[in-house]
Every structure is written in C-alpha cells, then in structure tokens.
Amino acid sequence: MSPELQKQHEHMDSYIMIEHLKCMFEGRARQERFDISKALYVCKLGDRDPVGPHVLKMIGYMEYLGTMGSAIGPEAQIDLILQSLNKNYAQFVMNYNMNEIDKTLMELLAMLKTIDINIQKASPAPIMMVNKGSAKGKGKWKGKKRMGSKSVAAHKTAPKHALKPGGGVAKGDTCH
C-alpha cells in the first residue's frame, strides 16, 4: 500500500477500510475485466495463422479473467477455443464434439498443433494467377489466323509443306 493510502486509512477500522478501497478500485477492475472478456470473445484464428499462439493467447485471457474473479468453467473454455477456430478445423471440431472427448486445455493445444501440421501439409501450394489478355499483334498465332506480322491472306498463299516421318519410321509403321 502506498504511503498516501496508508495515511488516508490510518484511523479507519478494517471493514470501512476494505469498503473504501473497493469503491476506489472497483471501477477500474470492471473496465479491465470488460476489455479482457471482449478480447477473448472476438478472438478468431486467421486462415494462415498458426494455432499454437492463438490458443495460448486465449488461455492467457481466461486465466487473467479467473484472477479477476470472473472464472470461466473448463467446458466453456474448451467451447470458446473450438468456436474461435477457422473452417480448416471444422472436421476436428465435429469429431471432438461427436466423440465427447474430455481433455485439458494443454491436451487440446497439443491435439490442435498436430492437426495444424497436417493441415499445412495437405494445403495446396499457392498458385500464380495470370490475367488472360489479348496479344494485339504480338507473337505467333496458330491455325489460319496470322503468324508474326503477316496477314491472314498472305499466310493462305504460302506453300504448304507436308510433314514426313523422321527418325527411321516408315509411313506405314505404327508409332508407339
């Protein structure tokens, strides 16, 4: 207790002193409890975020609320963590609830880390997207259209060469 508070409460009996201290600090504690519970309830796991730090952060919020006198029951703690997971964990959550698995928070964390590793292995590699655009006169076009800068009419009049088999394959032989 600070010296200023000691001087204020020097001549009070214990009950009045406790009531006075409650009045002084209760408002601040209420706001802090509200902020922590709000952070806990809106906590969601992102699609590419690792599950370990996310669950540890939630456990920290729940333990802090417990020290402030607003403890959350063990089943509700598990439910909060499972509800905060993203869609990649939907199968795990369904199995956890259907099989009525009863684990501690640390056991749940270990299970989720294992599932996280499997999800990362199974997720496809990022794909590069290419916009389909028009060539606008560049490059070669196949077929009867144009090649390079020649027009379609000039290409039609070009001599046609028949393709001949090469590499020792005769015309009647089967190619494998």
Q: What is the pLDDT of residues 14-32, one digit of tens each?
A: 788 777 777 777 767 888 8
Q: HSE-up of 4 (CA within 13 Å, CB side)? A: 1
Least confident of 51-55, 96-100, 127-131: 127-131
pLDDT tens digits, 106-160: 999 999 999 988 888 776 666 666 677 665 655 555 655 555 555 555 555 555 6
pLDDT band at 75 (very low <50, low <70, confident <90, very high): very high
Distance separating alpha carbons of residues 8 and 168, to the nearest angstrom = 109
CB 77 within 8 A of CB 62: yes
Distance separating alpha carbons of residues 74 and 70, to the nearest angstrom = 13
pLDDT at position 30 is 84
Residues sharing a CB contact under 8 Å with residue 56, sequence separation 6 or more, in sequence order: 109
CB 109 within 8 A of CB 57: no
User: What's the whole-model pTM score?
Assistant: 0.56
Q: Which two tokens stand for residue 11?
A: 């001549």
Indicate the domain borders of the chain: 37-120
Distance separating alpha carbons of residues 55 and 108, to the nearest angstrom = 9
